[in-house]
Amino acid sequence: MSMFDILSFGPGGWGDEMLRGALMTLLVAALGFLGGNIIGAVVAIARVLGPAPVKWLGATYTTVVRGVPELLIIYLLFFGGGEFFRFIAKIFFLGGDGFADAFIAGVLALSVVSGAYSAEVFRGAAGAVPRGMFDAARTFGMRPFQMLRLIAIPQVLRYGLPAMANVWQLTLKDTALISVTGLVELMRTTDIAAGSTQRQFFFYTISIMIFLGFTALSDFLFRRAENFCGCHGHAGGKG
């Protein structure tokens, strides 16, 4: 079979399977990144504004998660949270216990990992916002919620967006680790196709090209967003 036959769509080719795997990779990465941003924002606020015990808990979370392999977190959540994942799956009407466990464990694991890095990004970005902006806002009679909405959030995004691009790339690449749970994303699909056709070099090369395409597109979109926001510098990241 030629390269085009192997990657064709339909019963005789693997094009549709590779496409579904790539879309699943993007979905898991996007949900994990979104969840990580939510976790990171909460942890960053706790570390900046919370009392000493809360600050300690936030620091412990970011230190532990960034200090252990991502694969270990995936194993912990996947093999240790089966009943919990099935309960969540029923709430969101996700069918198939195996799929539900793997999908939710993957999203949650990516959220936990990216959340630790996002927390450091947001905390660093918050520290980069000039204090004088808040002093001026108080002088004009702004209330705390107005300062949060009009000053804090836009400025944190401005300073943190370049580093968030790194967190997104980290999350996107970590989706390859989710294949150990059996979720049929790009890496898992590539393994199946390579084993079925005995064209390992070909399919792994195709997978590399797809990931590089995702990376290039992500870089382009984040650069456009940075130019739009007038971002500069970095406020953290994987480091």
Contact 236, 117 (CB under 8 A): yes
Percent helix, percent strand, percent coil in the chain, to nearest 5: 80, 0, 20
Domain residue limits, the chain: 3-229
What average pLDDT does this structure show over 50-55? 89
Asked if 70 contacts 116 with a C-beta cutoff of 8 angstroms, the reply is: no
Please state which of the ranges 60-74, 86-100, 128-142 shows the lowest mean pLDDT: 86-100
pLDDT number for residue 236: 47
In single-letter form, the type of residue at position 87 comes to F
**More confident call, 109 vs 48:** 109
Which residue type is seen at 68?
V
pLDDT in tens, 110-155: 999 999 999 999 988 888 777 777 677 777 777 767 777 777 777 7
| For residue 96, pLDDT beyond 60 | no
pLDDT, position 234: 44
pLDDT at residue 235 in the model: 47
Q: Using 50, 70 and 90 to split pLDDT, how confident is the model at 161?
A: confident
Q: Percentage of residues in the chain with pLDDT exceeding 70? A: 85
pTM of the model: 0.83
User: What are the φ and ψ backbone dihedral angles of 198, each rounded to 5 degrees?
Assistant: 60, 30
Residue 83 tokens read as: 């009943």
Q: Considering the chain, what is the average pLDDT of its residues? A: 83
Contact 163, 235 (CB under 8 A): yes
Is the CB of residue 119 less than 8 Å from the CB of residue 163? no
Q: Please give the CATH number for the structural domain made up of 3-229.
A: 1.10.3720.10
Q: Determine the Cα–Cα distance for residues 224 and 15; give it in Å rounded to an integer.
A: 31
pLDDT of residue 239: 42
| Calpha distance 24→101 (Å, rounded) | 15
| C-alpha separations of 167 from 11, 25, 39, 183, 188 in Å | 38, 16, 13, 22, 23
Q: Cα separation of 106 and 194, whole Å?
A: 23
CB 238 within 8 A of CB 170: yes
